[in-house]
Amino acid sequence: MSDYQVQNPATGEVVATYATATDQQIEAALAQASTAYYHWRQTPLSERAQLLHRIADLYEQHQDALAHIMATEMGKPIAQGKGEIGLVAEIYRYYADNAAPLLAPTNIEVDRGSAIVEKHPVGVLFGIMPWNYPHYQVARFVAPNIMAGNTIILKHAPQCPQTAAAIVDIIQQAGVPAGVYNNVYATNAQAATIIHDSRVQGVSLTGSERAGKAVAQEAGQALKKVVLELGGSDAYIVAADADLQLAIKGAISGRFGNTGQACNAAKRLIIVEAIYDTFVAGFGAAVRQLQLGDPLDDNTFIGPMSSISAAVNLQQQLSQAVADGATLLVEGGLLKDKPGAWFKPAVLTGVNDTMPVYREELFGPVAVLYKASSIEDAINIANDVPFGLGASIQTKDDKLAAHIAEQLDVGMVTINAPSGSEANTPFGGVKRSGFGRELGYLGITEFLNYKLIRDKS
């Protein structure tokens, strides 16, 4: 049976199944992407830009239908799905409008003659994408790279085959030449074959730490460059002078948006002792007011988790934390008497560094609260995890915000708002959160050949 199937997380019902790719289909995708590259790289930037604008237009035109698919595939509340589609359109437009200056040659001052560095595409790229933001994650890999002249083979998450097919439809409707973008319903073994194929020049994965290790190992053996965007356990630091109402509101949206299933979600809320009790009371009350709802309802903020297995795994982590001595400030967890992957939001306190959950990623609607004796203690708690994706800071003091931001071992810091994503700002982390950057001016730089042209005459 194929791994590629749509199982509605709201009901547990399998509503569609897609056949796994044959080896012949994998070879055809490799051949098509390789052949298309030699024509696509010669296509003027202005023509590529027009196609990217057309892709953005089509995303906006089909926003409702695409959000509906996400709601039934992985449970994303439809209003948030529409927001994701809007961001995707922005990403395609950003690279359409900005690629020319970003790809322009760089002049180097030399004593004699001239030297320039030209920026060229490298060839066929392989992307392995996750389910939690099934259009956005693809766009931030695809948009800059096809704009740069590379071609794409993409393996989407097995639980999002309808989204994968919808992306193909949009790209084809936009008029992108055949072979520039190739979707494959590949197995993990076939993915390894693609990585090792000589026609593939680079690999990008967004996913779990486990998947990152496997892909990095294969890419290393094949001497292929790889970009990894992996897990996170982002800190949300609240200083004593913070606007508590704003901080609580941001913590709710930052932790529970997308039903808590975001790599850069505010998973660890670190509160300075002076305001800890006040914050906890307000935050706990706000979490208790959250209601699970139908993901197809525009008013729903929290829907089901992406899958029953994901909800079961999160419940195991939550139960283990309590068994280890943590306290459930807000009791929540897997609703076993309801079909599907429904998980009531929960809040943990009393977690310490002797517990496994202290350094684990909780990928779902569970928040962990920490009391910090000082700002320096908050910084230490924030850094004391193997992840280094992002962090948020709540304070009215600009100098304090700058100090905290400078000390955090992360790739992104957001001040007075939960972490998010924008087309024109780089996204990525350090430590076990991966390496490389997507989006913004850095997003188009990862898979380029920086060719030196040195004239000594």
- What is the tens place of the pLDDT at every residue in 184-225? 999 999 999 999 999 999 999 999 999 999 999 999 999 999
Q: Which of 73, 90, 218, 229 is catalytic?
A: 229
399 contact partners, CB below 8 Å, separation of at least 6: none
Q: Which of 84, 90, 160, 263 is catalytic?
A: 263
Q: Is the pLDDT of residue 375 over 60?
A: yes
In this structure, the strands spanning 343-344 and 387-388 are unpaired
pTM beyond 0.85, yes or no: yes
Across the chain, mean pLDDT equals 97
Sign of the CA dihedral running 106, 108, 113, 116? negative
Q: How large a percentage of the chain has pLDDT more than 90?
A: 99
Q: Cα separation of 148 and 102, whole Å? A: 10
Q: Which domains does the chain have, with CATH numbers?
A: 5-230+433-455 (3.40.605.10), 234-422 (3.40.309.10)
Q: Cα separation of 183 and 129, whole Å? A: 11
Q: Is the pLDDT of residue 230 over 60?
A: yes
Region 388-417: mean pLDDT is: 98
Q: In this predicted model, what pLDDT tens digit does every residue of 36-92 receive, in sequence order?
A: 999 999 999 999 999 999 999 999 999 999 999 999 999 999 999 999 999 999 999
Q: Cα separation of 84 and 69, whole Å? A: 12
CA 315 to chain centre: 23
Whether 331 is catalytic is no
* Widest CA span in the chain: 79
What backbone torsions phi and psi does residue 261 show, to the nearest 5 degrees?
-105, 65
Whether 229 is catalytic is yes
Under DSSP, is residue 106 helix (H, G, I), strand (E, B) or coil?
Answer: strand
Q: In this predicted model, what pLDDT tens digit does every residue of 340-362 receive, in sequence order?
A: 999 999 999 999 999 999 999 99
Q: Cα separation of 10 and 292, whole Å? A: 11
